[in-house]
Copies of this chain bind each other. A is one copy, B any other.
Amino acid sequence: MSEQETPKARPAVRTLSDLARIAGVSAGTVSRALAGNSLVNTATRERIVALARDHGFRPNKMASSLRRQKTDVIGIAIPLGHDSRQQISDTFFITLLGHLADALTERGYDLMLRRVIPERDEDWLDRFIGSGMIDGLLVIGQSDQFDRIEDAADGYLPMVVWGNHAEGQRHCVVGTDNRLGGRLATERLIESGARHIYFLGDTSAVEFAARYAGALDAAGRSGVTVTPLTSHLSSDRLEAEVAANLDRSFERGDAIFAATDTLAIASLARLKALGIAVPDQVRIVGFDDLPLAAQTTPPLTTVRQDIRAGAFAMVDLLIRRISGEDTESIVMPPRLVVRRTA
């Protein structure tokens, strides 16, 4: 079709050269003018800028990226666990994503979001890194991909991961001290009378494994039992899974340490349905301190992570890494928020 689709009766000006022709200058000058390069004569620049506006010209970012070898795009990878629909719907990750979006937008970056299913795509990390589409990569959650992330980090500096920090690890991570958080939560449960604690969460994810380890730390000192109960974060199955676990196990337990608030809230609902009193019969502590946690009935006792601070830290580190600095990881202290469930 050679017919104009634009309401304006002019031939669309889509490229720098189009605009250059109209302005009676060279493409180079247009490029410089639009970039605000001080070399161009002010009058020329203003004329070109006006022309660009009038004709609705937008430079093609692909071409620019290719030429500059810089895309101004940050990749965000969300590794999903075995269960292909795990986690992305988890409120915590989503909240983190929102803050990352804030922080990156503020710094002039676009976000390229990619959900990855490591089981189905072994090569997810290198593929994303090598795509040439991104200037840096943020990974939200290590899932069970710790080793693969380590490998990638050896050859790729501009990557920051949200997750757990292990002694001597090579990738740059921002996260909460999960083990300490787990200990705080469990200590609280014990203080409020727990003897048989269920840890609800998937310990194959390293963050959760650390929380579980913290629970064991706390229990070790007091003779309290801590039993892991695998529960995934998939929103469609979460409720059923929690229900099944609790129904089956609760004659024996008197407390739940849920790996996330989402899980804690689901448990709370289930216990209510079962007619089990919280915290009198069963105590619950969550993890994250989502806004929601304050609004449950009774309000949830939980371990707070400062998600917003974490997101901004990730972006800050990433930008420093993009400019070549080999930054250290940041481990943030968790804080126990005592409400009414324990």
- Residues in A lying within 8 Å of B, measured CB to CB: 2, 5-8, 56, 58-63, 65-66, 71, 73, 85, 88-89, 91, 94-95, 97-98, 101-102, 105, 110-115, 126-127, 130-133, 154-155, 235, 239, 265-266, 268-269, 272, 291-292, 294-297
- Judging by beta carbons under 8 Å apart, are A102 and B85 in contact? yes
Contacts of A63 in B (CB 8 A): 66, 132
- Judging by beta carbons under 8 Å apart, are B291 and A132 in contact? no
- Judging by beta carbons under 8 Å apart, are B126 and A101 in contact? no
- Judging by beta carbons under 8 Å apart, are A113 and B115 in contact? no
- Judging by beta carbons under 8 Å apart, are B291 and A62 in contact? no
A114 is contacted by which of B8, B94, B95, B110 (Cβ under 8 Å)?
A: B110
A56 is contacted by which of B7, B61, B126 (Cβ under 8 Å)?
A: B126
Copies of this chain in the oligomer: 2
- Known A62-B71, A65-B62, A111-B113: A94·B101 in contact at CB below 8 Å: no
Alpha-carbon gap, A98 to B88, bound state (A)? 6
- Judging by beta carbons under 8 Å apart, are B61 and A131 in contact? yes
- Known A56-B126, A265-B295: A132·B61 in contact at CB below 8 Å: yes
A89 is contacted by which of B58, B98, B126 (Cβ under 8 Å)?
A: B98
A14, chain B: closest CB distance, angstroms: 9
- Judging by beta carbons under 8 Å apart, are B95 and A105 in contact? no
- Judging by beta carbons under 8 Å apart, are A112 and B113 in contact? yes
Closest to A97 in B: B94
- Judging by beta carbons under 8 Å apart, are B102 and A58 in contact? no
29 contacts between A and B (CB under 8 A): A6-B154, A6-B155, A7-B154, A8-B155, A58-B126, A58-B127, A58-B130, A58-B131, A60-B131, A62-B65, A62-B71, A66-B66, A85-B102, A88-B102, A89-B95, A91-B94, A94-B97, A101-B113, A101-B115, A102-B115, A110-B114, A111-B112, A112-B112, A112-B113, A235-B291, A239-B291, A268-B295, A269-B294, A272-B297
- Known A73-B112, A133-B61: A91·B88 in contact at CB below 8 Å: no
Closest to A112 in B: B112
Contacts of A132 in B (CB 8 A): 58-63
Contacts of A102 in B (CB 8 A): 85, 88, 115
A71, chain B: closest CB distance, angstroms: 7
Alpha-carbon gap, A254 to B184, bound state (A)? 43
Contacts of A97 in B (CB 8 A): 94
Leading 4 A-B pairs by shortest Cβ distance: A58-B130, A60-B132, A297-B297, A269-B295
Alpha-carbon gap, A66 to B64, bound state (A)? 10
Closest to A236 in B: B291
- Known A235-B291, A295-B269: A88·B101 in contact at CB below 8 Å: yes
Alpha-carbon gap, A133 to B266, bound state (A)? 40
Closest to A294 in B: B269
Alpha-carbon gap, A284 to B247, bound state (A)? 31
Alpha-carbon gap, A272 to B299, bound state (A)? 12
Closest to A269 in B: B295
Contacts of A114 in B (CB 8 A): 105, 110-111
